[in-house]
Amino acid sequence: MAEHTQLIDAINIRTAVRAYDDEPIDDDTARQLEMALQPINLLGDLNIQLVRDQPKVFAEANASGHLTNAANYLAIVGPANDEEAKERAGFYAERMVLTATLRGLGTLWVAGSWDKAEAAKHCRVTSGQELYLGVVIGHPKNHLDYQAKSYEELCEAQRTHRATKTYEQFTATMSDEGREAAPDWFKSGVEAAMKAPSAMNRQPITFSYNPADDTAAAHIDQSAEDEHHAFNDMGIAKLHFQIGAGQGQWAWGDGGLFIHK
Ligand SMILES: Cc1cc2nc3c(=O)[nH]c(=O)nc-3n(C[C@H](O)[C@H](O)[C@H](O)COP(=O)(O)O)c2cc1C
């Protein structure tokens, strides 16, 4: 585990983790996660909170076997009725997912596999705010074995654990010539986005490269039928793209442009 330290490494090894060890997140780890949360909340105008040891929130999913020992979560709280804030939530909460991954923790975005009303009881949601989603966080099952795995083994697990849309599907609006001529940073960005989590693995975002001004654009693919979480998933995909592409910055929104630096 010690050999990977960069965000791109976290992208290359992250998978959804649904089974956890029955071991708490200790105070030191919690403090470090909370310190990472502070600038993220400031930048994203969000109120993401770490909530520990509330297994009741996941009682049903744990009992059915869909999850094992889920008990801790990031409560993704932000401004109510604000689609752009949901995109920021996806972007910045996924940044926390990658931080947790580099610490050897497992994560799982949850929209359905939790009791959201119960989850809301253990975090602060002020008037004008809303609890959007959760991210389960904890020590992956058999975490000592997990931590003993090499970076290559973890990359291989990421590459093979689920189906993904192809590079061509992720760049569906581009021609073969356009794909061929796109710079390496664009290709690396798309490849990182292909590894991103999305609700029900719908992968609802497409990317295109415009040689006229050397920008990339991200679009919601309506045919992916991800209407409930499309903005969140776009934020997640944009973060992965940005890390894969190296330096650069996105404009928010459907059709928002990425300027590579
Ligand atoms: C917004 C969102 C909501 C999700 N909700 C759930 C959920 O309720 N239950 C679940 O088991 N997985 C959930 N997932 C996890 C996805 O199924 C998973 O990310 C996807 O299948 C891709 O797999 P990967 O994360 O291993 O790459 C959710 C993911 C996202 C991004």
Identify the H or E element spanning 59.
Answer: helix 59-64
Query: In angstroms, what is the span from residue 197 Cα to ligand 1's centroid?
Result: 6
pLDDT band at 2 (very low <50, low <70, confident <90, very high): very low
Separation between Cα atoms, residue 230 and residue 12, nearest integer Å: 23
Q: Which of 57, 107, 201, 238 to mutate to test the pocket of ligand 1 (most atoms within 8 A of CB)?
A: 201
Amino acid at 211: P
What phi and psi, each to the nearest 5 degrees, are found at residue 175?
-85, 165
Strands, sheet with 205-210, edge to edge from the N-terminal-most edge strand:
205-210, 215-220, 257-260, 248-250
Question: Which atom, in ligand 1's list, is nearest to the CA of 232?
Answer: 1
Domains of the chain as residue ranges with CATH? 7-147 (3.40.109.10), 162-260 (3.40.109.30)
**CA of residue 135 to ligand 1 center, whole Å:** 9
Residues 6+ apart with CB under 8 A from 6: none
Distance between Cα 177 and ligand 1 center (Å): 34
SS3 at position 206: strand
Structural tokens at position 63: 């009992």
Ligand 1 centroid, distance to 215 Cα (angstroms): 29
Find the 241 Cα to ligand 1 centroid distance in Å.
Answer: 18
pLDDT digits 0-9 by tens, 71-100: 999 999 999 999 999 999 999 999 999 999
pLDDT in tens, 16-75: 999 999 999 999 999 999 999 999 999 999 999 999 999 999 999 999 999 999 999 999
Strand order in the sheet with 129-138: 49-51, 72-79, 129-138, 106-110
Residue in 109, 132, 133, 154 to alter for ligand 1 test, most ligand atoms within 8 A of Cβ? 109
- Which residues does a 6 A CB cutoff place in the pocket of ligand 1? 15-16, 18, 108-113, 133, 161-162, 197-201, 229, 232-233, 236
Considering the chain, what is the average pLDDT of its residues? 97
- Return the closest-CA partner of residue 230 out of 87, 95, 93, 91: 87
CA of 214 to the centre of ligand 1 (A): 32
Q: What is the pTM (predicted TM-score) of this model?
A: 0.98
Q: Quick check: helix, strand or coil at residue 58?
A: helix
Residues 6+ positions from 176 with CB-CB distance below 8 Å? none
Could you tell me how far CA 223 lies from the centroid of its own chain?
A: 21
Alpha carbon distance 248, 240 (integer Å)? 12
- Mean of the pLDDT values across residues 137-164? 96
- Residue 110 CA to ligand 1 center (angstroms) comes to 6
First to last CA, the chain: 31
Mean pLDDT of 179-198: 98
Minimum CA distance residue for ligand 1 atom 7? 110
228: helix, strand or coil: coil
| Residue 18 alpha carbon, nearest atom of ligand 1 | 11
Spatial distance between the Cα atoms of 49 and 111, rounded to a whole number of angstroms: 16
Q: Whose CA is nearest to atom 30 of ligand 1?
A: 199
As a whole number, mean pLDDT of residues 197-212 equals: 98
Say how many Å lie between the CA of residue 247 and the centre of ligand 1.
Answer: 27
Question: Cα(129)–Cα(127) distance, rounded to whole angstroms?
Answer: 5
Beta bridge partners of 210: 215
Measured from the Cα of 236, ligand 1's closest atom is 31
For ligand 1, atom 17: residue with the closest CA: 200
> Strand locations in the chain, DSSP E?
49-51, 72-79, 106-110, 129-138, 205-210, 215-220, 248-250, 257-260
